[in-house]
Every structure is written in C-alpha cells, then in structure tokens.
Amino acid sequence: MSSGKNQKRLGKWLVNLTLLLLVLIWTIPTLGIFISSFRNRDKIATTGWWNVFPHREWRPVSELDPKALGLNPDEVMEIEGVSGTFDQFRKGIETPDGKRVAWIGNKRLGKVEVQENAWTIDWDFSLDNYEQVLGGQDFEFRRPDGSVEVVPGDNMVNAFLNSLAVAIPSTVIPILIAAFAAYAFAWMKFPGRRSMFIMVVALLVVPLQIALVPILRDYRALNLNGTFLAIWLAHTGFGLALATYLLYNYISSLPRDILESAFIDGASHFTVFTTLVLPLSVPALASFAIFQFLWVWNDYLVALIFLGGNPEFELVTQRMAAIVGARGQDWHLLTAGAFVSMILPLTVFFTLQRFFVRGLLAGSVKG
Amino acid sequence: MESPNNKVAGDQSFVAGILALIGRVLLAVSIPLISFYVLYLGFLFLRDSNAPREIIVLIAIIWGVGGVGILYWVFNWLVEKLPDQWKGRLLPFVFVGPAIAILSWYLAIPTLRTFYLSLFGRDGPPEGLSFIQQISSAAFVGFGNYASVFTQDLMVEAFRNNLMWIIFGSTFSVIFGLLIAVLADRSSFEKLAKSLIFLPMAISFVGAGIIWNFIYEYRPEGQTQIGLLNSIVTSLGGTPEAWPQWVAISPWNNLFLIVIVVWLQAGFSMVLFSAALKGIPEELLEAGRIDGANEFQIFFRIMMPYIQGTLISVWTTIIIFTLKIFDVVWVMTGGQFGTHVIATQFYRQSFTNRNSGFGSAIAIVLLIAVIPVMIYNLKRFREQEAF
C-alpha cells in the first residue's frame, strides 16, 4: 500500500514538474520582452535580457596599455604570467589564480584587461523606452562614456487611439447586427429563413482573403477607402457569420415561456428583443465581444489593406510592423511598443477571462 | 390616433384625418431622411475633420455604435406604423436584413466576383464593356492563372510551406494543448498554469513576431548574443544562426515560424480539451482504474475516445487557421528565405504586384481548400437542426 502511495506522490510530483517546465517555456518569450522594455537602449542591443538575473560574469579589475608594455600582437605575447597569440587573448586566457586576461578591441587600438569572475546583476530599469515610443519627438540618449546621441522616438499614442476607434465599433456593430438576426432566426417565422441560415453556416469558414480585392474595388468606387467606416464594415462582414451562429445557438435556447408571456402582454418583437433577449444574452454577447475585440485589435491584414493608404489612421499593429520594418534595430522602441500594443488586450483578457473561455467553448465544442 | 371626438363632429374630423395622414407621411419620410443625413454628416466629419485625435475617436465610437442602433430603431418604427399584415411580413426582414445584406456584400458575392476576376489578366476585366465583350477581350485568360498558380516556383514553395504549417502547426498545437490540459487537470496549480499558457492568445501576431525576434535574434559569431536561442547554442559551443532566415535549411526554417503559432494557439486547444476532459464522468475513469488500467491506458482507451468530437473540431479549426496564416510570416521574414505561404503570396500578388487576376486565383484556391470543412459543417447542421 505504501509503495502505491509513494508512486502516486511521485506521479504527482512528475506532473507538477512537467507542467512547470511547460509553463516556463511558454512564459519566457513574453517575460524576456517585458524585462527588455525597461532596460536601457544600449544594454538591450548589446547584452541579453537574462543579465538582469544574478549571474557570474568577467569584470575588469585592471587595464593595461599594450603599447606601454611593448607588446607585439603579431607574435606570441606574455601578459600577467600567461602567454598566447593575439587570437587566444581575444578570447581571453585564464590565469592560474582564476583571473582572466583578455585583449579588448583590435590590434592597433586595443587594450588589455585583467578580469575576475564575479557575481553581478545588471539592474538598471527605467521607463525611458515607453516615454520614447509614446512621446513622438527626439530624445537625447546619454551613453555610459558621456557622449550624447539624439534618437528619434515614435508616436504610438495616435495609433493607440485609432485602434480604439476601430476596435470598439468593430466589436459592437457586428454583435448588434448578429443579435437582431439571431433573434429573427430563432423566434420569427418568415420565408427563406432556413436557406438564409444555411448561408450563414456555409460562410463560417470562407477565408476573408476571398473578399479583399472586390471589397477594395467597391471602397474605391464609394470613396470609402482609409476611413473608419470602411474598416468597421469590413470587420463586421468578416465577423458576422460566426457572431450570428453563436448567438443563434444561445438565443434559440432561451426559455420559450418567458418570451411567450411577453407577447401575450402585447409586447412587440422590438421591445421583447431590447428589454428581454438582450439582457438575458449578456453572457453570450460578452464572450463573443471579447473574442471579436481581441481579433480586431490584433488584426493586421484587414487594416493593412483598408487603412493602408492613410498614415493618419494607422493602427498599433501597423505602427509596430512599420517599426519592425524600418527601424528593426531600435530594440528599445520595439519592446516598449509591443507592450503598449498588448496592454489593452491583456487587460481585457485577464479581467474577462472567464467569459472569453465560455465563448470559446460555445464556438467550438457545442457548435 | 382616432379619438372618439372625431367621429362625432363630421367636417372637422375629415380635415383632422387628412392632417393626421399628411403628418404621418411627413414624419415617416422625414425621420429616416433626417437620421440618414445626420449619420452622413457624422461620416463626413470623421473623414475630413482636423479635430484633435481624442475627439475624433470619441465621436467615431459614438457615431459608429449609435448609428447602427438608430438605423434599427428607425426601420422598426417605420414598420410598426404599417398595417398588421404588412408588419408581420416585413419585420423579420428588418431584423435579419442587415446581417444578410452585409454577409452577402462581404462574403457571399465576393466569392463569385473573385472567381470572375481570377479569369482575367493583371488588371481584371476591362471596364465599361458588356459581359460578352469582357470575356472575349484580350484580358480574359480563362484558367491561365490557375495553371500558373500550380506551376510557378514561388507558389509551389508556398504550397509546400502551407502543408508544413498545416501538418506541424496543427499537430503540435493539439498535442501541446492536450498534454497541458491533462497535466493541469492533475496539478496543484491548475488555474495559474492555464492562465499563463493561455496568455499568448491575447497577443497580436505582430507583437508575437517582435517577442520571438528576441528569441531568434542573430549576432555574428564572437559578439555577445542577445537572442536566447543563439545564446544557448553558443554557450554549448555551437555557432549562431539567424534561425527563420537560415536559407541553408529551407524548408525547415519554416518550423521556427510555426513554433510561434504553436505558442500562440496551444492555449486555445488547451481550454477546449480541458473542458472536454472535465466532462468525462468520474465513474468511467474509476471503473478503468479498478480494472487495473494504468494512466496511459486510461488516457488512450477512455479519454481519447470520449473527447473525439472536441479533438476533431479543434483540429479542423486550427487547420483552417494555419491555412490562412499571414501576419507572422509577413512580419518575421516577409516571405523571404523560402518561407512564403499561400496567404503571403496572395497579398504579394494582389497588392504589391497589383496582379488582381493572379491574386484572385490564389484566393479561390484557398476557398477550395476549405470546402470540405464547409460541407462537414453543413452536414452536421442538417443532422442536429430542428429548423
């Protein structure tokens, strides 16, 4: 019996350990960029973000001038009791007492360092990166050696506001339209009801790529390109099939007698819909809303095509992609910018996680 | 509207009736006109205004959300004014009409239009001609675009890569999702673990691309590596590589991009599997254990068959998703280094090369690829529906 218990404990331990490992793997990428976003511009580009954790590193204790020592880098040299070629010193040679001698820089202008292996923490956090990615003007950056460099910032605030203006209506509009339609499919009798619903089901999986070129042509003809309305409608069109389908599943399962008693009392469909069905459907509406919000906020392709021509209306994803493309080495902007772009979806996600999960379940298991 | 007084007084009631009728008609015409006009003014303001961004955003949200509400209210109000018989006939279409109209405009009709465009050359059908003239014009290439879709080198590469995406992307997402769901179910920190695994779901592909650039970043040999993967490789004595850009191992460099999507998607499948696993009756598992089954047997003989339905729907969802994959590839490599997929080729042909015929043909190929899933959905709908 006790061996069985031990085995069970071992099993539990193994389960926890494996899971911990997986969680760690899943978290490290985000953690890395999160830590980096608070690090100094120069440090991000020259050292790994894991240096913020205590680690052993070679640190210089004293500096030697190779010229004063009369060293010739083209021959075998002897420094501080160890000897080696230039290439060996470039990599660093350890002395018997645990120190290291390393040649820093090139043959002509280099210097020789004596280093010791010591515990260090690279602990220097600031909000500068965020200031620069949101501030939109030039910033002075002071290097450790005292030189000052002017670096351009980026204006993410504008893009953030645009994303809000796109994401909120693009979430509410399709839900409202889908809810009306779902109500009609569930509680009204009219010719063509079945065939229309079959159309909704069939369109569930149609890739949106199919629509981009024709819709772009329509938008050009209607002079809608590069407007908020254009992108709201596009997101509505691409999200509507799923929204209608999910909400139909929910609304059609509402208790029949509640609605019927309302009709007997003389309520119109519109009143029943707005005063009864909408409030009763809040869980379904909320879960789809989160889904749609994340999808719209994180969308890049639709924005690229329908808002692409208008820098005024650039969204955060477009802004980020532009920074990656044009200033891919500005790591400090990329890290902070990525977090600015993630902050809202992550907040929505964590506060409304339960609804979101419910929405997923309704969509894929039941449907 | 008709008060008892009107019936008593003859002449007066007639005039009042006429006035009421005119009033009704005027109201019925003016309310939608006014609301459309107000909405149109709002649209113009949003398009052309130089107001501060904050104000534009606020008005956009109010106008967009409120506008749709107003439209429904106005249409309903109009229909309510009609005689009962017409009301019954029209009201359903007020409710369902906008959805059907938008779905038709944005998805149903474009499939036909895109197919039509795909039969033409670079600039699409010549404008201002009749249908007959269009299809007899020089721009009409018939299925020529499809021939190139399946033969052009870059397209063949895109198909091969998409196949890798579908196979590896969906398999790993499902396996990791299932593994984590099973482990989390028995662990002592289930909630936390699930939240952290699920978290990447909230991150955009563009953001994920940046995050993973930090893992894959390459510095020439000898410099300090700031990418985690290369740092590990060099500390183990290897040479650093620019992983997704590594042409030498194409097509395997695609796997480094697929990893990103698995990272994003595993949470999705985990949630669904977790719910399905929790739905397995405890007695079933107990019975298995009493009969002496070990945990692996319980997993493969009881759990897997039980959650088969979920397994299939998760798998198909992820397959469709990976079939359309675009953002990750576009942001990480732009399709270079042998990483093009169908969707990036579509974008490149339609919008960078401005070859609408070829791009449309690619889109139609994508559509054909999802048709089996569409048929499966419809079949299931027919089976379960009490419509």
CB pairs under 8 A between A and B: 337
Instruction: Kindly report the nearest CA distance between residue B125 and chain A, in angstroms.
Output: 12
Report chain B residues whose CB lies below 8 A from the CB of A7. Answer: none
**A59 close to A116: Cβ distance less than 8 angstroms:** yes
Which residues 365-384 of B have a C-beta within 8 angstroms of A?
366-367, 370, 373-374, 377-378, 381
* Among A53, A24, A48, residue whose Cα is nearest residue A36: A48
**B176 close to A19: Cβ distance less than 8 angstroms:** no
> Is it the case that residue A366 has pLDDT exceeding 50?
no
CA distance B33 to B180: 57
Angle at A23 between CA B185 and CA A126, to 5 degrees: 140
Q: What is the pLDDT of residue A16?
A: 87
Q: What is the pLDDT of residue A188?
A: 86
Q: What is the pLDDT of residue B247?
A: 64
Q: Which of A176-185, A190-199, A338-347, B143-152 has the highest mean pLDDT?
A: A176-185
pLDDT band at B251 (very low <50, low <70, confident <90, very high): confident
State mean pLDDT over A132-153.
69
- CA-nearest residue to A305 within chain B is B351
Q: Do B381 and A201 touch (CB under 8 A)?
A: yes
Q: Do B203 and A213 touch (CB under 8 A)?
A: no
Q: Tens digits of per-residue pLDDT, A192-224?
A: 888 899 899 889 889 988 999 899 888 888 888
CA distance A14 to A46: 38
Q: What is the pLDDT of residue B32?
A: 72
pLDDT band at A121 (very low <50, low <70, confident <90, very high): confident
Angle at B32 between CA B26 and CA B33, to 5 degrees: 80
Among all chains, which residue has been given the structure tokens 């229309």? A196
Report chain B residues whose CB lies below 8 A from the CB of A206. Answer: 107, 111, 367, 370, 374
Nearest residue, CB atoms, B92 vs list A50, A184, A203: A184
Question: Which segment of A72-81, B75-84, B185-194, B263-272 scores lowest on mean pLDDT?
Answer: A72-81
Q: Within an 8 Å CB–CB cutoff, is residue B259 touching chain A?
A: no
Report chain B residues whose CB lies below 8 A from the CB of A168. Answer: 61, 64-65
Question: Which segment of A79-83, B144-148, B174-178, B274-278 scores lowest on mean pLDDT?
Answer: A79-83
CA distance A232 to A214: 17
Which residues 42-71 of B have a C-beta within 8 angstroms of A?
43, 46-47, 53-54, 56-57, 60-61, 64-65, 68-69
Q: What is the pLDDT of residue A1?
A: 46
Q: Tens digits of per-residue pLDDT, A89-120?
A: 777 777 777 777 877 777 777 777 777 777 77
DSSP-derived letter for residue A3 is H
CA distance A179 to B35: 22
Beta strands in chain A (DSSP E): 55-64, 77-79, 82-84, 93-94, 99-104, 111-120, 138-142, 148-152
CB atoms within 10 A of CB A225: 18
Angle at B81 between CA B79 and CA B86, to 5 degrees: 55
Q: Tens digits of per-residue pLDDT, A217-262?
A: 888 888 888 888 888 899 999 999 999 998 998 888 888 888 888 8
- CA-nearest residue to B109 within chain A is A211
* Tokens encoding B305: 């068959």
Q: Do A180 and B310 touch (CB under 8 A)?
A: no
DSSP-derived pairing of the beta strands A111-120 and A55-64: antiparallel
| A12 residue type, one letter | K
> Is it the case that residue B132 has pLDDT exceeding 90?
no
Q: Do B111 and A210 touch (CB under 8 A)?
A: yes
Task: Name the β-bridge partners of A56.
Answer: A119
Which residues 223-242 of B have a C-beta within 8 angstroms of A?
224-228, 231
Q: What is the pLDDT of residue A365?
A: 40
Q: How far is CA A75 from the centre of its chain?
A: 53
Q: Is 0.90 surpassed by the pTM of this model?
A: no
| CA separation, residue B252 to residues A25, B323, B327, B330 (Å) | 21, 18, 19, 17
CA distance A208 to B110: 10
State mean pLDDT over A303-309.
82
* Among A126, A161, A211, residue whose Cα is nearest residue A316: A161
**B363 close to B114: Cβ distance less than 8 angstroms:** yes
State mean pLDDT over B138-164.
85
Report chain A residues whose CB lies below 8 A from the CB of B100. Answer: 181, 196, 199
Q: Do A50 and B226 touch (CB under 8 A)?
A: no
pLDDT band at A126 (very low <50, low <70, confident <90, very high): confident
Q: Cis omega before residue B251 (within 30°)?
A: yes
- CA-nearest residue to B68 within chain A is A173
What whole-number percentage of chain A has pLDDT above 90?
Answer: 11
CA distance B180 to B200: 15
CA distance B87 to B76: 9
Q: Within an 8 Å CB–CB cutoff, is residue A178 touching chain B?
A: yes
Report chain A residues whose CB lies below 8 A from the CB of B93. Answer: 190
Q: Tens digits of per-residue pLDDT, B202-235?
A: 888 888 888 888 888 887 777 777 788 887 887 7
> Is it the case that residue B303 has pLDDT exceeding 70?
yes
> Is it the case that residue A336 has pLDDT exceeding 50?
yes
- Dmax over CA atoms of chain A, in Å, equals 105
Q: What is the pLDDT of residue B176?
A: 92
Q: Do A23 and B367 touch (CB under 8 A)?
A: no
> Which residues, at least 6 apart from B315, have a Cβ–Cβ distance to it below 8 Å?
B170, B174
> Is it the case that residue B10 has pLDDT exceeding 70?
no
Q: Within an 8 Å CB–CB cutoff, is residue B210 touching chain A?
A: yes
Q: Tens digits of per-residue pLDDT, B45-73?
A: 777 777 777 888 888 888 888 888 888 88
CA distance A13 to A84: 51
Mean pLDDT score across all residues of chain A: 81
Three-state SS for A200-262 is HHHHCCCCCHHHHHHHHHHHHHHCCCCCHHHHHHHHHHHHHHHHHHHHHHHHCCCCHHHHHHH
> Is it the case that residue B359 has pLDDT exceeding 70?
yes
Q: What is the pLDDT of residue A2?
A: 52
State mean pLDDT over A26-46.
83
- Starting from the edge strand earliest in sequence, which strands make up the sheet with A55-64, in order? A55-64, A111-120, A99-104, A93-94
Q: What is the pLDDT of residue B263?
A: 93
What whole-number percentage of chain B has pLDDT above 90?
Answer: 12
